[in-house]
A and B are shown apart, each in its own frame.
Chain A
Amino acid sequence: MRSAIIVFPGSNRDRDMQLALRQASGQEPHMVWHKDTDMPEVDLIVVPGGFSYGDYLRAGAMGALSPAMRTVKERSGKGVPVLGVCNGFQILTEAGMLPGALMRNAGLKFICKQVHLRVESAQTVFTSGYAQGQVIRVPVAHNDGNYFADPDTLKHLEDRDLIAFRYVDAEGAESEGSNPNGSQMNIAGIYNESRTVLGLMPHPEDAIDPLHGGIEGKGLFHGLAQALN
């Protein structure tokens, strides 16, 4: 699997993503600076976490206008899978590649902790490494992860099975206590219509080594590497 990671001023999980993709695919990801519009042919593009442009105006608003994002949109239009994690998810919503918006956490605090996610659909290129309904433990680290969309959009996401991950408790049950940031319908990640774009707030790339405290994020990268090889 050939991959590219977009690097913005203020990205800080780009190296973690590089490690995760290298570990899963055995191939070195291309690091693409946000000002570059030419990108090698790749099988996967990743928009990583961090605080691109210092979260100025709105988290992801400036990053969405980067020259590299024009290429990302163009490639995505041709069917190249795009993964956005944390700030990457915010950028993809601001760029109009995913519906809804990510607002300030309901508790107004930056949250950095392990959470449990339920894999809502194992039938996509991103989740083939997991079983349907599997519960995985991965970390979140964000200030603006509160997913918001209007009622029609939420209904559409649910009806079309476009919700990728939900925040749940260790037993896999949705509850208010398992929702760290106030996201509607406990949404942690969503797909676009064709399920070739995935945005999620939690960091699977930070759960790939026993030293991370868990390796349950590995399934995502190994699934991708297998599907896109």
Chain B
Amino acid sequence: MKATVHVTLKTGVLDPQGKAIGHALGTLGFQGVGEVRQGKVIEIELAQTDQAAAEAEVKAMCEKLLANSVIENYAIRIDP
């Protein structure tokens, strides 16, 4: 199975990189760009074959390492 983890900054946490990207998009002439938030994507190959067990395992990985819960949220997708 393959897990895809999206790590994003929590709402309310200032994202200066996202702001800079939004500003650059405006400079390039893109109209109507609202708030931009930058995050990261982590792909993990898993030996696990059970969907629920894989999700639980990746959730533990997020809590222990992949995301810093003080400033970040995470979302997990598991694909066969």
Q: Which residues of A are in contact with B by a Cβ distance under 8 Å? A: 57-58, 61, 65, 93-94, 99-101, 103-108, 148-150, 182
Contacts and interface: CB of A to CB of B under 8 A. Distances in A.
28 contacts: A57-B65, A57-B66, A58-B68, A61-B68, A65-B65, A93-B70, A99-B70, A100-B70, A101-B68, A101-B71, A103-B13, A103-B14, A103-B71, A104-B16, A104-B17, A105-B16, A106-B14, A106-B16, A107-B16, A108-B16, A108-B17, A108-B20, A148-B13, A148-B70, A148-B71, A149-B70, A150-B70, A182-B14
Contacts of A105: 16
Nearest to A58: B68
Contact of B65 (A61, A106, A107, A149): A61
A58 B17 CA distance: 15
Contacts of A106: 14, 16
Contacts of B66: 57
A94 B65 CA distance: 9
Interface in B46-79: 65-66, 68, 70-71
A65 B17 CA distance: 27
A196 to B, nearest CB: 21
A89 to B, nearest CB: 14
A156 to B, nearest CB: 14
Interface in B10-51: 13-14, 16-17, 20
A12 B79 CA distance: 41
A182 B16 CA distance: 10
Nearest to B10: A150
A159 B65 CA distance: 30
Please give me the 3 A-B residue pairs with the lowest Cβ-Cβ distance, nearest first. Answer: A101-B70, A101-B71, A108-B16
Contacts of B68: 58, 61, 94, 101
A148 B16 CA distance: 13
A65 B66 CA distance: 12
Contacts of A57: 65-66
B36 to A, nearest CB: 14
A107 B17 CA distance: 9
A149 to B, nearest CB: 7
Considering residues B17, B65, B66, B68, which has the most beta carbons from chain A within 10 angstroms of its beta carbon? B68
A149 B20 CA distance: 22
Given A104-B16, A105-B16, 19 more contacts: A61-B65, A61-B68, A65-B65, A99-B70, A100-B70, A101-B68, A101-B70, A101-B71, A103-B14, A104-B17, A106-B14, A107-B16, A108-B16, A108-B20, A148-B14, A148-B70, A148-B71, A149-B70, A182-B16
